[in-house]
Every structure is written in C-alpha cells, then in structure tokens.
C-alpha cells in the first residue's frame, strides 16, 4: 500500500474523503443505479437456476457477522478504500448455499455502514453503494454455479478460477462505476490493482478456516483478533494520509500567501506574476506535462519573482537605468527566491528549482547558472516564455500594450536565442489565432491543477512593462528600464 501518493492520487483521495460525507451527484447516482440493477439481476438469475437448499444457520450467521466486522476495517485508497473482507468472505462462501452468498455479503456490508450513518458521519443514501461493493461475490458464485460444484468440494483449479472471477468482476465493475460516476480514467484505476494481491494472500489463510466452518463454526471468530490488528494499521494509514493532505494544503496556502506578499511588496511584480499563471498553465497542458509538473509550473509562475522581496527597494524602484553593480544585485532574485522556497520545503523545493532558472536563456547566456537548451528545466523555459509574452501584451500607464501581431513577431525573433523555440512555437499556436482566447488565458485562476485550493486570481487589470527597447517604446519606471547591459542576445527581455 503506497503512502507516497502522486498529486493525482492525492486529489482523488481528497475527493473520495469529501464524497464519503456528502450526497451523490447525478453521475454517481446513475453509476450506483446500474450497480444495483446488475446485482439484483444476477442474484435473481442465481435464485432461479440454483435455488437455496437447507443449511446450518450458525456458521452462516457467524461468517456474516465477521464479514461485517472486516468491512469496518478500511484502508483508504484514491478511489475509495479496500477492506480485508477476503478473510471472512471465503468461509462465508463455504457456509451457505450459493444463491444466498451475494445477499449475505450485501447484508454484511450494509451492517458495516450503519454505525457511520447513525453517527451522522455519512448520508444514508450512500448505503446504496453497498450493492456495487458486494458485486465481487458474484464472480466466484457464478464459477461454482456453472461448474455445478460446491465450494467445499472444489479442487484447487476451480478455487483459483473462482478467485480470478472474483477479481475480474470486481475490477470490471469498479472501473465502470468510477468511469461513469467520477470520470476516472482506466489507467488511474489500474494503479489500484495491487489490492488483489492482498486479497489473494488473505484468501489462502481464509481457506483454512473455511474448510472447517461446518464442523467448527466458532473458527470464524478466530479471525477477529487479526481483523483488530488490521484495524490498527488502517487507522495509522488514515492518520498518515490525512497528515499528508493537510501538509500539502499548508504548502499550497503558503504559496498563496507568498504570492500576496510579493504583490504587497511591489504591486507591479505581483500583478504581473499572477497574470502569467493562466498562460503558463495552458502552455504546460498543451505541452503534455503531467499533473505534478503542471502544479509546479502554476506555483512557479506565481512566485517566479518572489526573490525580489530581498532586493533593496532603491534598486527595484530606481527610475534610471541600472549600473552593472545594481544588475548584479537584481540578478540574485532568482537565488533568493529559491532559498525562500527551500525553506518552505515539500514540493516548494521543486518550485524553487524552477524559480532559480527562470532567467536562463536557450543559448546559454542567461543567469544564474548559464544553462543552455534542454539543460534548463522545461518548466523554467515555459515561465520564461510566458513572462516575456505577458510583459509585451499588457498596458502600462504611460503606454499601451504592444500590438498582438508585433508581439508575435518579437517572440519569433528571440526564438532559439533567448527562448526555447519549441515552447515559443506552442505559445504562438496558443495565442496566435485568437486574441480573445489570449485574454481569457491571462485571467484564468490559480487552483486549476489543485481543486482543493480555491482560485484567488483576479483579472489582469494592472499594466505590465516589456523590455521592448527594439520597439522604440519608452522605458517606464520601476523594474522596466531597458536591457540588462551585461546580457547578450535577444532584443526582448523578460521582466527582470
Ligand atoms: Fe525574474
């Protein structure tokens, strides 16, 4: 059971925990309705073809009760939870007629849900989920019914086949249900198939109890101490996962606060950074970056100039061109930014590495490390492109934004020298055909990648300043004072 969940799994887990305490949406209701109909149809067919015969109540009742206990022990997973029910299900299968097994499984799972319903920790409507959760019982029952052999008389081959049928029915049902109810991808769901390895291991132990269930019904109770041990592990896992989610929420919160600090420290830098976020995210998505990288791009876009907080204000706000010594100072904002984010820790260290490199240039003439080409982190190349584009395309009080077509030409002119040509090409595709689309990108809100973080960005109403010396534009106050004299290369600079 992996504790190191990736960002998609963390989001799924947060969503799963949230859903457990809320009612079902229309898609979930549809998925569960299909689950109930399928389950009821299969049970009806079983009753018609294999009507239940007389059986001993005590072993069946004890196995059902132990199954209910086992279902209380929940190991949370991104799509829900897994339970050690295999321990009790195998004896249950041996203890009663085939036609009753799915129903007894359903009753046990419902019993396990009642405490949380009565305690108000979960809506009663979620009891309907138990039909879907009990579907795993249909697989082995169908195998024994078709073979015409009771579980107690089955040979090893048939038992293995029954186990495989259980996994197949459960996996197919879960995939379909989560695809309909939550739009979950098959790939994401297949990552949870490790639970069947655990079930297979438990089945071997359970089989020993099952073989003696009619001669010693109390043997079912021997599983209870083991379930108690599992319950301790499950509780520990729950607490560790809760802590993991809480910690990541804290990292997100810290990033947002730092974004506010940047803006409070220098409104120009803050607004510019926020307006780069939407475009950078769209670009990262178009380039096919995974969720974790997109999350890092999102926060690196917001915080790429956080290090300016450490730069003396007389340098930051100097209206005249900077001298070489002052440029040396201002360039340290990349390193200062990384230091700050390193202190936050967690995934912000990864964001810090991007922040460090956002002034590197494709031809190797950037800073602080003089990296070139693909040695520069892709996320940093994305930030550099968006930083440059946004600086050109926004108004300042003393001049209008550079026209769309002219800005496109300028991007092309620095492609391959200052900026990654591959990233520029995609950015141009993204904004070239549709100025309205570009405007929309600039106002997209933070939190797209991480739904648990509420979006806080406001439309980009503050003007930005490009370093457009070649365009004959007047240099404005603040940070925009013409090209860095120590830099060679492109005619356009990002906002420094
Ligand atoms: Fe910067």
The alpha carbon of 146 and the centre of ligand 1 are apart by a number of angstroms equal to 69
Ligand 1 geometric centre to CA of 412 (Å)? 21
Longest Cα separation, the chain: 97
For residue 304, the CA-to-ligand 1 centroid distance in Å is: 6
Q: How far is the centre of ligand 1, averaged over its atoms, from the C-alpha of 384 (Å)?
A: 9
203 CA → ligand 1 middle, Å:
59
Distance between Cα 441 and ligand 1 center (Å)? 21
Separation of alpha carbons 75 and 79, rounded Å: 11
| Number of helical H runs and strand E runs in the chain | 21, 2
CA of 454 to the centre of ligand 1 (A): 26
**Nearest of 284, 322, 332 to residue 486 by alpha carbon:** 322
d(CA 142, CA 49): 11
CA–centroid distance, residue 448 to ligand 1 (Å): 23
* Distance of CA 216 from the midpoint of ligand 1 (Å): 74
Q: Which domains does the chain have, with CATH numbers?
A: 7-244 (no CATH), 266-471 (1.10.3210.10)
Pull the structure tokens for residue 259.
């974004």
Residue 457 has pLDDT above 60, yes or no: no
Give SS3 for 493.
strand
Ligand 1 centroid – CA 165 distance (Å):
58
How far is the centre of ligand 1, averaged over its atoms, from the C-alpha of 358 (Å)?
7
Under the banding of pLDDT at 50, 70 and 90, the label for residue 436 is low
**Ligand 1 geometric centre to CA of 359 (Å):** 6
Tokens 């040979």 map to which residue? 155
The dihedral formed by the CA atoms of 463, 469, 474 and 477, expressed in degrees to the nearest 10: 60
**Residue 77 DSSP SS3:** strand
pLDDT digits (tens, 9 = 90+) for 70-89: 999 988 877 777 888 899 99
Which DSSP helix (H) or strand (E) runs through 81? Answer: strand 80-82
Rounded Cα distance between 70 and 231, Å, is 9
* Spatial distance between the Cα atoms of 82 and 230, rounded to a whole number of angstroms: 12
pLDDT by residue (tens digit) across 312-362? 988 887 878 888 999 999 999 999 999 999 998 888 899 999 999 999 999
CA 428 / ligand 1 centre spacing (Å):
22
Q: Which residue has the tokens 């591959």?
A: 422
Task: Look at residue 197 in the predicted model and tell me its pLDDT.
Answer: 87
Print burial letters for 209-243: b (CB count within 10 Å at least 16), e (below 16): bbbbbbeebebbeebeeebeebbeebeebeeebee
Between the CA of 346 and the centroid of ligand 1 the distance, in Å, is 22
pLDDT digits (tens, 9 = 90+) for 383-393: 999 999 988 88
What is the three-class DSSP state of 82?
strand
**Residue of 59, 74, 166, 58 whose CA lies nearest to 112:** 74
The half-sphere exposure of 308 on its side-chain side, counting CA atoms within 13 A, is 27
Lowest mean pLDDT: which of 157-171, 289-303, 386-400? Answer: 386-400
Q: How far is the CA of 431 from the centre of ligand 1 (A)?
A: 22
Closest CA to 183 of 37, 8, 331, 59: 8
Tell me how far the alpha carbon of residue 341 lies from the centroid of ligand 1, in angstroms: 15
pLDDT band at 165; cut points 50, 70, 90: very high
Report helix, strand or coil for 155: coil
Is the pLDDT assigned to residue 474 strictly greater than 60?
no
Report residue 270 as tokens: 């803050």
**Is-contact 403 416, C-beta < 8 A?**
no
Does residue 150 have a pLDDT over 70? yes
> How many whole angstroms from 118 Cα to the centroid of ligand 1?
56
- pLDDT: is 45 or 262 the higher one? 45
- Residue 320: burial class (beta carbons within 10 Å; 0-12, 13-18, 19+): exposed
Assigned token pair, 243:
């802590």
Residue 183: other Cβ atoms inside 10 A: 8
| Arithmetic mean of pLDDT over the chain | 81
Tell me which of 251 and 230 has the higher pLDDT. Answer: 230
Q: Which residues pair with 486 in a beta bridge?
A: none
Lowest mean pLDDT, pick from 36-40, 268-272, 428-432: 268-272
Sole residue written with tokens 């550079």 = 402
Please tell me the pTM assigned to this model: 0.61
Distance of CA 297 to the CA centre of its chain: 15
DSSP bridge pairs for 80: 77
Q: In angstroms, what is the span from residue 262 Cα to ligand 1's centroid?
A: 12
**pLDDT tens readout for residues 177-225:** 878 877 777 777 777 788 888 889 899 889 988 988 888 888 889 889 9
Q: Which chain residues have CB less than 5 Å from ligand 1, an ion?
A: 305
**Total residue length of the chain:** 496
Distance from the alpha carbon of residue 308 to the mean position of ligand 1, in angstroms: 8
Q: Do 105 and 67 contact (CB within 8 A), yes or no?
A: yes
Lowest model confidence (mean pLDDT) among 157-171, 267-281, 437-451: 437-451
Q: Specify whether the CB–CB gap between 469 and 424 falls below 8 A.
A: no
Q: Averaged over 1-24, what is the pLDDT?
A: 69
Instruction: Give the Å distance between the CA of 290 and the centre of ligand 1.
Output: 24
Q: With bands split at pLDDT 50, 70 and 90, how would you rate the model's confidence at 475?
A: very low
Torsion of CA 372, 378, 384, 385, to 10 degrees: 110
- Alpha helix ranges (H) inside 50-100: 57-72, 86-95
Per-residue tokens: 244: 């993991």
Residue in 439, 382, 389, 387 with CA at minimum distance from that of residue 409 = 389
**Residue 334 confidence (pLDDT):** 96
Percent of the residues in the chain that have a pLDDT greater than 90, as a whole number: 36
Distance separating alpha carbons of residues 204 and 95, to the nearest angstrom: 17
Inform me whether the pLDDT recorded for 275 exceeds 60.
Answer: yes
Paired tokens of 208: 């020993």
CA of 357 to the centre of ligand 1 (A): 9
């Amino acid at each position: 059971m992996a504790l190191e969940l990736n960002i998609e799994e963390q989001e799924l887990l947060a969503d799963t925990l949230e859903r457990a305490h809320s009612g079902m949406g229309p898609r979930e209701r549809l998925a569960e309705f299909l689950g109930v109909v399928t389950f009821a149809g299969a049970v009806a067919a079983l009753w018609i073809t294999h009507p239940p015969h007389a059986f001993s109540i005590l072993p069946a009742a004890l196995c059902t009760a132990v199954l209910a206990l086992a279902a209380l022990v929940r190991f949370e997973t991104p799509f829900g939870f897994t339970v050690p029910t295999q321990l009790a299900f195998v004896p249950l299968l041996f203890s009663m007629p085939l036609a009753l097994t799915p129903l007894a499984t359903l009753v046990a799972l419902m019993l396990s849900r009642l405490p949380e319903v009565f305690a108000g920790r979960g809506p009663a409507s979620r009891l309907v989920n138990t039909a879907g959760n009990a579907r795993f019982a249909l697989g082995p029952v169908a195998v024994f019914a078709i073979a015409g052999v009771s579980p107690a008389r089955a040979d090893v081959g048939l038992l293995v086949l029954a186990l495989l049928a259980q996994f197949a029915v459960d996996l197919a049902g879960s995939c379909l249900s989560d695809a309909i109810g939550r739009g979950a991808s098959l790939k994401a769901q297949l990552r949870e198939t490790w639970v069947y390895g655990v079930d297979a291991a438990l089945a071997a132990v359970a089989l020993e109890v099952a073989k003696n269930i009619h001669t010693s019904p109390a043997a079912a109770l021997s599983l209870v101490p083991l379930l108690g041990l599992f319950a301790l592990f499950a509780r520990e896992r729950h607490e560790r996962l809760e802590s993991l989610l809480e910690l990541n929420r804290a990292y997100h919160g810290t990033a947002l606060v730092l974004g506010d600090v940047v803006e409070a420290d220098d409104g120009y830098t803050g607004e510019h950074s926020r307006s780069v976020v939407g475009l950078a995210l769209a670009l990262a998505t178009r380039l096919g970056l995974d969720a974790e990288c997109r999350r890092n791009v999102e926060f690196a876009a917001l915080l790429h100039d956080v290090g300016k907080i450490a730069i003396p204000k007389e340098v930051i706000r100097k209206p005249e061109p900077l001298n070489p010594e002052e440029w040396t100072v201002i360039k340290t904002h990349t390193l200062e930014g990384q230091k700050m984010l390193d202190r936050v820790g967690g995934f912000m260290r990864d964001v810090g590495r991007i922040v460090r490199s956002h002034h590197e240039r494709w031809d190797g003439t950037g800073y602080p490390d003089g990296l070139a080409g693909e040695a520069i982190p892709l996320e940093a190349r994305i930030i550099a492109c968006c930083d440059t584009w946004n600086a050109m395309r926004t108004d300042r009080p003393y001049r209008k934004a550079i026209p769309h077509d002219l800005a496109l030409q300028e991007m092309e002119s620095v492609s391959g020298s200052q900026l990654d040509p591959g990233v520029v090409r995609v950015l141009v595709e993204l904004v070239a055909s549709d100025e309205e689309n570009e405007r929309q990108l600039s106002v997209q809100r933070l939190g797209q990648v991480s739904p648990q973080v509420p979006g806080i960005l406001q439309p980009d109403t503050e003007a930005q300043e490009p370093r457009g010396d070649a365009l004959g534009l007047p240099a404005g106050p603040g940070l925009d004072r013409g090209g860095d004299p120590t830099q060679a290369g492109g005619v356009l600079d990002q906002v420094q």
